[in-house]
């Protein structure tokens, strides 16, 4: 079972991807993790990717797909995988589709975790992080015992720049411009399934499991 997770930043798709991977015994394949692993291990593909990243450039789609295919060709992916963070654009989806077709494979489900923008802004602007130990909180859902203070190490909690409303709105605009067309792309292929991401995390997961069977 080959699954792609779609959803805006902060929609909770990464959490759902991990839960799906655990339930079905398939790997959770995050492009960020694969890049880091290839760079750390000094692979040829990793070296090529690092050249772009060091210059602050996006890694080209062809190279990203190569790194991804290299990962999903490994033994632990033979029963499927959950892709998280890729594809982000139509060209990436087309390159991936082409590569899978050559292997006689295809994506079985594209799961879209749908959350309205205003919910995401509220959700993300409520996050608080401890820069010292890395613990994260939410002022509504997982508040610290003492307001503004980390339970773990007693340091001050901050609202990270990328969680500020204006930054979140900017990221959402980029998402809608680039990734929204993917919803049409996978709808046309008959594999798109949408779940209501505003529900409780467990309910979202149950809805996904009902789709995947």
Place of tokens 């060091």: 54
Find the distance separating the first CA and the last CA of the chain, reported in whole Å: 11
Beta-sheet strand order (sheet of 127-130): 136-138, 127-130, 157-158
Q: Is 29 helix (H, G, I), strand (E, B) or coil?
A: strand
The tokens for 32 are 């960020």
On whether the CB atoms of residues 95 and 61 are closer than 8 A, the answer is yes
Place of tokens 């590569």: 99
Rounded distance between C-alpha atoms, residue 106 and residue 97, angstroms: 7
Phi, psi angle pair for 184, to nearest 5°: -65, -40
Catalytic residues: 13, 88, 127, 160, 171
Q: Please give the C-alpha separations between residue 115 and each of 54, 64, 203, 204, in angstroms, as whole numbers.
A: 34, 27, 14, 11
- Buried b or exposed e, range 29-46, using 16+ CB within 10 angstroms: bbbeebbeebbeeeeebb
On whether the CB atoms of residues 100 and 110 are closer than 8 A, the answer is no
């Amino acid at each position: 079972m080959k699954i792609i997770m779609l959803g805006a930043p902060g929609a909770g798709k990464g959490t759902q991807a991990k839960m799906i991977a655990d339930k079905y015994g398939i790997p959770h394949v995050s492009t960020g993790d694969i890049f880091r692993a290839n760079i750390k291990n000094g692979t040829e593909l990793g070296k090529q990717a690092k050249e772009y990243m060091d210059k602050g450039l996006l890694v080209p789609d062809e190279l990203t797909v190569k790194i991804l295919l290299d990962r999903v060709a490994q033994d632990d992916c033979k029963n499927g995988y959950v892709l998280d963070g890729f594809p982000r654009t139509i060209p990436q989806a087309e390159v991936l589709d082409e590569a899978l077709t050559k292997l006689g494979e295809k994506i079985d489900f594209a799961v879209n975790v749908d959350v309205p923008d205003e919910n995401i802004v509220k959700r993300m602007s409520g996050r608080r992080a401890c820069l010292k130990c890395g613990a994260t909180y939410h002022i509504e859902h997982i508040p610290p015992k003492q307001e503004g203070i980390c339970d773990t190490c007693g340091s001050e909690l901050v609202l990270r720049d990328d969680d500020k409303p204006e930054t979140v709105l900017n990221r959402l605009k980029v998402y809608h411009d680039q990734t929204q067309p993917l919803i049409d792309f996978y709808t046309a292929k008959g594999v798109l399934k949408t779940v209501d991401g505003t529900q409780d995390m467990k309910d979202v997961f149950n809805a996904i499991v009902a789709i995947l069977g």
